[in-house]
Amino acid sequence: MQIRYVLAALRKHRLVTFLITLQISLSCAVLCNASFLVMQRIESMRIDSGIEEPSLALIKIVGYDQQQAPDLNARMVAALRGVAGVQNVSVVSAVPFGGGGLRAGVHLDPEQKQSAGVIDFYLGDSAAIESFGLRLISGRVPSKDEYTPLTQLFPANPPVLITRKLAAKFWPGKDPIGQQFWVTNTAFRVIGVLDHFSAVYPSISAEDDPDWTVFVPTASGAGFDGKYLIRGNPNEMARIVADARKIAQKTAPNLIVDLDASQSLQDLRHDFFEKSNIMLGLLLCLIAGLLGTTALGIIGLANFWVAQRGKQIGIRRALGATKGDILRYFQIENFIIVTLGITLGMLFAYEMNLGLMRYYELPKLPLVYMPIGALVLWILGQLAVLAPALSASSISPMTAIKSA
């Protein structure tokens, strides 16, 4: 019975009802998409890199001639191994979250007709697999004599380790061991499969998987130099990094230690996701501000209607309406308005997501965010209208009629 009276009252205030409905619909659209972006950011920052990050650090040297590489690598590895607490030192091309690295498009046939996408390649010496702490789930690791020098970008037709997800992408339902793929004229033969090994720059895009990576066994030499992976006691990593920087500078006094890149893996991860943390904070502030503004709009509208309907409230109370009846009236009215706003807002949310997909290459908004956004706005609406509704239900019949 209440709903009929509520709808009749709303028809008499079409403009005000439309404006608050429009505000709620815009809030719903932004809330759904912003919440999705927040969860994406959080998920991306929780990525499993596949390596033992707390035990690892990177030291990077710059400003040297490529002809110095073999001698430089030998001196740096020997010196860094002498740092107290260091368990292992490896020459690598890159580390997750550490910049650099090598990315290339690959094909599944030597004629270069069957493209398989763009993936990351890690070059590492014979100690790198142990230093990284990579977990082999099938096949074998490279033997000592399979670590060969670079010819151009890669060693000549090397055996490689690929990740489980990359194997499933390239050869779904097949055994990847022994399979081959190509980058121009270089053939890569799979000898083992790793559980996880994230890309240097993990992406949050649905088009890229952070585990599309390959480990290429490589011997130290020109073109493969200047980056040294240190493995040590995780409880001493801050001190190990500081000592390693000093030792590196003493070992090669004419060269430069890149301090921004020469950090623990945990610090590199933190720096890598710093912008994501800032974006996360901004999105959360946006959501909080949006919900606060919507709540204020509902409270203001409810207070306005309470003031306008003082005489009506008094007459209803005089005719026997209870406080609960008045309270329910405003709650039902708010629920109807919010529901109209949510219905329109879901259409806006879908259109907004299409724009984000088109211009920012974001994935499609999962439908689960729609009912979650609706539930949040329904709860917010009921809480926002509660104080004005309680105030209205507490007015005595005689007071309401006299003040009207």
Domain that includes residue 154, residue range: 64-254
pTM: predicted TM-score of the whole model, two decimal places = 0.78
Predicted confidence (pLDDT) per residue in 212-268, tens digit: 999 999 998 778 888 999 999 999 999 999 999 999 999 888 888 899 999 999 999
The pLDDT, as a whole number, for residue 220 is: 83
Domain contains 366: yes
Q: Rounded to whole angstroms, what are the CA distances from 213 to 52, 195, 229, 238?
A: 17, 11, 18, 28
Domain match, 347 and 237 both: no
What is the C-alpha separation between 328 and 356, in angstroms, rounded?
40
Instruction: Report residue 206's pLDDT band, with 50, 70 and 90 as the boundaries.
Output: very low
What is the C-alpha separation between 294 and 341, in angstroms, rounded?
11
Domain contains 171: yes
Domain match, 250 and 298 both: no
DSSP string for residues in 168-208: HHHSTTS--TT-EEEETTEEEEEEEEES----SS---STT-
How many other C-beta atoms can be found within 10 angstroms of the C-beta atom of residue 144?
Answer: 8
Domain contains 260: no
Domain match, 185 and 119 both: yes
The pLDDT, as a whole number, for residue 165 is: 93
Domain match, 146 and 219 both: yes
Domain contains 50: no
Domain match, 232 and 298 both: no
Higher-confidence residue of 144 and 388: namely 144
What is the C-alpha separation between 62 and 259, in angstroms, rounded?
10
Domain contains 306: yes
Closest CA to 267 of 110, 117, 103, 96: 96
Domain match, 199 and 341 both: no
Domain match, 72 and 10 both: no
Predicted confidence (pLDDT) per residue in 129-152, tens digit: 999 999 999 999 999 999 999 988
The pLDDT, as a whole number, for residue 402 is: 60
What is the C-alpha separation between 25 and 317, in angstroms, rounded?
34
Predicted confidence (pLDDT) per residue in 164-196, tens digit: 999 999 999 999 999 999 998 899 999 999 999
Residue 124 reports pLDDT greater than 90: yes
The pLDDT, as a whole number, for residue 53 is: 93
The helix or strand, by DSSP H or E, that contains position 57, with its residue range, turns out to be strand 56-62
Domain match, 394 and 288 both: yes
**Number of domains, the chain:** 2
Domain match, 362 and 244 both: no
Domain match, 241 and 311 both: no
Range name among 36-40, 153-157, 392-396 with the lowest pLDDT average: 392-396
Section 357-370 average pLDDT: 82
Percent of the chain topping pLDDT 70: 90
Domain contains 268: no
